[in-house]
Amino acid sequence: MTPRRQSSRAPVTSPAVATVFTTVLTQGPVSRVDVARRTGLSSAAVTKAARPLIEAGYLIERDSEQSGIGRPVSPLEVRADREFFLGVKVTDRELIGVVTDLRARMLVTKFRPLPSRKPDAVVDGIAEMVTALLAESKAYKQRTHCLGVTVAGDVDRDTGHVRYSPFLHWRDVALGGLLAEKIDLEITVDNDVKAITVAERWFGDGVGANSFALVTLGTGIGCGLVVNGGVVAGSHGVAGEIGHIPVFGDGPVCHCGATGCVEAIASTDAIVAQARTATGEAGLTMAEIVTGARLGDTALRKVFARAGVAIGRGLASVANLVGPERIIVSGEGLDAYDLFADEIRETFATQAFGAAAQCELILRPLPFEEWARGAAAIAVQTLFLS
C-alpha cells in the first residue's frame, strides 16, 4: 500500500470502530442492538464506536421505527456517497476503470486499450484513466482519496510490488511506487482474484459466510479464500493458487514451470492449444472451438471434458483442504460451462472427501467491469487498514 492523500479520512481509530463500520457497511441498515448481537460488542461499545462515524458523515441514522415491544430503534446505515473510490484492472490488452461509492456500486465504467505491456506505458495509462474518471464529476474530484489497482499474478500488497505477472510478462515491477510518482491518491496494488474476493466478502455471495472460496475460470484460473471471516493472503502472498495445483501427472508443462497444473489444462489458452492439436487446425479460435464442441465434434468435446475433470479436481482440493461453506465459480470461462459442467460436478463429488462434498457450488458470470469493481473494493478496504 502506498499512502498518499490522507485528508478527510474515515475515523476508524480502533478495532471496535472498524467492526461496527464493516457490519453496517455489509449488513445495514441495522440497529445498534443487532450490531451488538452480531459482533459480540456491548451496546455501549457500539454507540461509542458509531458516534465519530456519524459525526464524520460516514454513517447516518434512519428515522426511528418500532420493532416489537420497547423503544423505537434508529437503524444505522452507510452514507454511500460520503466518499468515492477508483478501481483499475490491468489486463494484457486493456485497462478497465470504475468509480464506485462506499458500497462498491459502480457509478462510471471506462475501457481503454493498452498499447504496450511495458510498465511505464501501463503506469501512464492508469494515470490517464484516473484523470478521466475523476473528470466525470466535481464530487469525484473532491471526495475521492483511494485507488485500487489489480493485476493477475504474484503481488505483494504491502509494498505494491508485482513479483510475477504471467500475462503482462512482468517480473519484479514496483508498480505501487511508479504509480505514486504520478497519482496523488492513496494507492493499493493487489492480485486481481484476491480483490474480487474482498468484493464478494463484503458486497456479494460471500456476505454472511464465515468461509468461502472464489474460483475464476478464464485466461488464468485463480482462487481467493476467506477463512474465519478474513481473506487469506498466505505468508508469501500466494495462498489459494488453485490454478497451479497439479491434477494430471502426464499433463502439459505450465507457464509456471510445473507439469499438469489445472491452468495448463483448463485455462482458455490451454483449451485452445489442446483443441488445435487435437484437430490439426492451427488457426482455431476459442469461439470456433466452443461452437464445434456444441455441434458434437468428438475431439473438441474431449478437450472440454478433460478440462472439466481438471477443474473438478482443483475444486475438490480446495474443499478438502479448507472446508469452505460455499465455492463461487465465476469468470469468462463460464461461457462454455455447459461443455464441462457434468465433468466438474461428477469429479468434485468423487474427489471431495466425506462431508466436504456438501460444499455449495455457486455458478455466476463475471463481466469484465466486475474485475475493476474488485479493485475499488480494496480501495474501500483501506479505510479499515489505516
pLDDT in tens, 226-267: 998 888 887 776 778 899 999 998 889 998 889 999 999 999
d(C-alpha 269, C-alpha 126), whole Å: 26
Grid coordinates belonging to 173: 515491477
pLDDT at 29 over 60: yes
Q: Give me 221's grid cell.
A: 484460473
Is residue 96 classed as helix, strand or coil in its secondary structure? Answer: strand
CA distance between the termini of the chain? 10
Q: Which domains does the chain have, with CATH numbers?
A: 15-78 (1.10.10.10), 82-199+370-384 (3.30.420.40), 207-363 (3.30.420.40)
Query: Is the model's pLDDT at 5 over the cut of 60?
Result: no
Mean pLDDT of the chain: 91
| Partners of 212 in beta bridges | 226, 326
The mean pLDDT value for 106-112 works out to: 97
Q: Tell me the C-alpha distance between 343 and 12, whole Å.
A: 47
d(CA 188, CA 162): 12
Question: What pLDDT is attached to residue 3?
Answer: 47
Instruction: Write out the three cell numbers for 333.
Output: 470461462
Most confident of 39-43, 131-135, 362-366: 131-135
pLDDT level of residue 67 (50, 70, 90 thresholds): low
What does the pLDDT read at residue 231?
A: 86
pLDDT tens sequence across 355-367 = 888 898 888 888 8
Q: Angle, to 10 degrees, between the axis of helix 286-294 and the axis of helix 298-322? A: 100
